[in-house]
Amino acid sequence: MYQENQEVYDIEALMRKYGNDVLRTAYMYVKDSHLAEDIFQEVFIKVNQKLHTFQGESSIKTWIIRITINACKDYIKSAWNQKVTQLTEVHENTLAGEDDYRAVEQADESRMVRDAVINLPQKYKDVLLCVYYQDMTVTEAAKLLGIAEGTAKSRLSRAKEKLRLSLEGRI
């Protein structure tokens, strides 16, 4: 437990509050649910070990997401990852009836959007994930990523354009 400016941070409370954000961010980087869970564990171990170093210059969520992004980037550039061929997961969809048609269609659309985001160049994906998946402002995203606010706005605009072009005609 760590206390800063009358705010007490408990690791379990942080995991409950930000765990889904960490998992979602990790998945968008590593594209594998099991690896995302491993990164989740790694992130909260680091958070627990380094909580006393949190200076409050950003929100605790921003700090945790920055740790997550760094852990993902470390994994992606690791020698082990570069040598291992990842197996693709097979998802079986069964239709129970006509009522499920729209749900399956929406899931397919969501999967296409998620895949398009995953395939964006890293610098565009970083900004997009911060703003749209973590509900950060462009200013917060820029600070988290260590870039100028104008650069973040430009990258976000380019990311949206790349997504539009990628998804054009698919949905």
Which numeric CATH code is attached to 107-171?
A: 1.10.10.10
Phi and psi angles of residue 7, each rounded to the nearest 5 degrees, phi first = -105, 125
Distances in Å between the alpha carbon of 85 and those of 25, 80, 119? 22, 10, 17
pLDDT at 97: 52
Cα separation, 88 vs 94, in Å, equals 19
This model's pTM is above 0.85: no
C-beta separation of 117 from 163 below 8 A: yes
Tokens 């200076």 -> residue? 55
Domain ranges of the chain: 2-82, 107-171
pLDDT at 169: 61
pLDDT at 105: 64
pLDDT at 68: 93
Chain centre distance of CA 136? 12
Cα separation, 4 vs 126, in Å, equals 28
pLDDT < 70 positions in the chain:
1-8, 79-108, 169-171
pLDDT tens-place string over residues 1-14: 444 443 567 889 99
Domain 2-82, CATH class in plain words: mainly alpha
C-beta separation of 19 from 33 below 8 A: no
Q: Who's near 1: CB < 8 A, 6+ residues apart?
A: 8, 9, 10, 11
pLDDT at 89: 37
Both tokens assigned to 102: 């729209």
